[in-house]
Amino acid sequence: MKPFVPQLVYIEPKALEYSLGRDLKEKFEKMGLEIKETTSHNQVRGIPGNNELQQYRNAKSTLVIGIRKTLKFETSKPSAEYAIPLATGCMGHCHYCYLQTTLGSKPYIRTYVNLEDIFAQADAYIEERGDQITRFEAACTSDIVGLDHLTHSLKKTIEHFGKSEKGQLRFVTKYHHVDHLLDAKHNGKTRFRFSVNSRYVIKNFEPGTSSFDERLEAARKVANAGYPLGFIVAPIYLHVDWREGYYELFQRLANSLKDTKVNDLTFELIQHRFTKPAKKVIAKRYPKTKLEMDEEKRKYKWGRYGIGKYVYKDDEAKDMEETIRRYVSEFFPKAEVAYFT
Ligand code: SF4
């Protein structure tokens, strides 16, 4: 998987008031990319494409350089207290991705250059919580690692938290472009997680992301760079032979990590879920998907904003949780399972 390069770049004039905004403009000019001005990301016009589907695909390789105006951070349960907004959108094409509905008609990628404002806000939240540890999730609205080889804003964030006493950072990725992050002064305050899954799920539902082997290679580097490491197994999906598929995943993980320095390892387990609006969008954008989204086979769970989600029925979810927890304890007896949801 080659590192992401946008096909089209938009820049908000205000972004040029920040050094990162100016640096990015220069960088993309040197790369010979087309750069257009836009007063605000809401005014982005002219993404090419003869129909909605083509525009959607082109939007996913469009980058908007802008500033983050809303500095009220969303909460990010169960993995962290807050979501830290460094970017929005992603170049990947995972069929099940919830960004398809949360970003609606604006699937282009936005990177925010006013990092100082974002860090000041994070510090204020840490201060508010006094002696408690405050965790920030940087991958709620994008796959930030997939973009960071261009911006290095994640690297700066890692180093900001490296100096923090009570603040911690975490993010998850399906990309392996981690080399520039290996020498970041993280001081153990950042948990670097990789999203992993069975071969079936990666092959059928995760186009446009790094292969499993590339993610493993990156995880080895990250472990050897002394980062606390994590794996998010998500979405756990009950395909034919799922037990064997997930068992093999753990075998490969354990094999790959056996010669590394990893000593702080967590797993987060998330079963597949979908909402009715997501099902409609997925059917439009990935019409040939094999992703099973049959409401009859699932359990309805009430959700925020009145949009409930469909998860596996209790007996299947229980079986899934017990099975995967067993695999974790067989292959990684010292690792912690942070949650299953
Ligand atoms: Fe969504 Fe993550 Fe896939 Fe990007 S890599 S499309 S954020 S699930």
> Nearest 5 degrees, angle CA 164-CA 167-CA 170?
115
CA end-to-end span of the chain, whole Å? 30
Whose alpha carbon is nearest atom 2 of ligand 1? 143
Instruction: Give the model's pLDDT for residue 277.
Output: 92
Q: How far does CA 266 lie from the centroid of its chain?
A: 17
Residue 143 has pLDDT above 80, yes or no: yes
Residue among 95, 174, 204, 210 whose CB has most ligand 1 atoms within 8 A, to mutate: 174
Residue with tokens 């409401």: 295
Q: Which domains does the chain have, with CATH numbers?
A: 68-340 (3.80.30.30)
Whose alpha carbon is nearest atom 5 of ligand 1? 92
User: What digits encode the pLDDT tens for the residues 243-301?
Assistant: 999 999 999 999 999 999 888 999 999 999 999 999 999 999 999 999 999 999 999 99
Q: Could you tell me which of 71, 147, 164, 178 has the C-alpha nearest to residue 115?
A: 71
Which atom of ligand 1 is nearest to 96's Cα? 8
Q: Sorting pLDDT into bands at 50, 70 and 90, what band is 60? A: very high
107 Cβ closer than 6 Å to some ligand 1 atom: no
Mean pLDDT confidence for 142-154: 98
Q: Look up residue 35 and give its two tokens.
A: 């750069």
Distance 144 CA to ligand 1 centre (A): 10
Mean pLDDT confidence for 27-53: 87
Distance 220 CA to ligand 1 centre (A): 21
Pairing of strands 134-137, 229-236: unpaired
Distance 128 CA to ligand 1 centre (A): 32
pTM reported for the whole predicted model: 0.97
